[in-house]
């Protein structure tokens, strides 16, 4: 049995509480002595009084009760679950796609798969890497290529989001100059 972090009483504290009440103290007084509410004292003394001697010896009357409901009237029967399980075995599809095939809600499909331990899909075999072998070492040339971004001004990183106009150093626009105008004089 696992107690949650904020439990006011553990098993020993619960046993002490019911022993104080069995000893003649009121529930309110016993709760005040152990620093819990009277509702908590009532919560543990009521099942203690209703349990058998063997349950008192084992202490099972002081364990936390499961929060699972006693019955689930809307749960699918085994006959209704069979097509879902058969479709899962045949296709290995998830709940979303099985919902379309089986005509049930995705959440219902998942609950059926989880109940039967099939909520995790089985993994297929891992694909082998593509291998290639040549008769001699070095017979195959492997070249890695990369596409580089175009840049407008050499030596500077380009920003694709902000485009700044290129300003020439002279007052004459550099694109309008002819080759003879910007080339150095020949000796």
Q: Output the six-digit token pair for 94.
A: 């998830």
Whole-model pTM?
0.42
- pLDDT above 70: residue 178: no
Residues in Cβ contact with 25 at an 8 Å cutoff, skipping those fewer than 6 apart: 33
Q: What's the pLDDT score for residue 162?
A: 55
The confidence score (pLDDT) of residue 99 equals 95
Q: Which residue is listed with tokens 């990183």?
A: 157
What angle, 0 to 180 degrees and rounded to 10, lies between the N-to-C axes of helices 95-102 and 106-115? 110
Query: Cβ atoms within 10 A of the Cβ of 25, count?
Result: 16
Collapsing DSSP to helix, strand or coil, 71 comes out as: coil
What six digits make up the tokens of 30? Answer: 């016993």
């Amino acid at each position: 049995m696992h107690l949650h972090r904020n439990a006011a009483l553990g098993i020993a504290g619960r046993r002490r509480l019911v022993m104080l009440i069995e000893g003649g103290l009121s529930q309110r007084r016993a709760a005040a002595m152990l620093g819990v509410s009277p509702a908590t004292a009532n919560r543990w003394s009521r099942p203690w009084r209703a349990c058998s001697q063997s349950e008192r010896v084992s202490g099972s009357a002081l364990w936390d009760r499961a929060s699972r409901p006693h019955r689930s009237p809307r749960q699918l029967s085994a006959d209704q679950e069979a097509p879902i399980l058969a479709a899962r075995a045949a296709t290995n599809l998830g709940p979303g796609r099985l919902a379309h095939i089986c005509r049930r809600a995705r959440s219902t499909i998942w609950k059926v798969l989880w109940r039967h331990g099939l909520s995790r899909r089985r993994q297929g075999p891992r694909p082998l890497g593509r291998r290639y072998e040549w008769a001699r070492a070095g017979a195959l040339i492997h070249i890695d290529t990369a596409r580089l971004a175009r840049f407008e001004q050499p030596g500077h990183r380009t920003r694709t989001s902000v485009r700044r106009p290129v300003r020439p150093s002279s007052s004459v626009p550099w694109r309008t100059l002819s080759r003879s105008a910007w080339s150095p004089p020949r000796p």
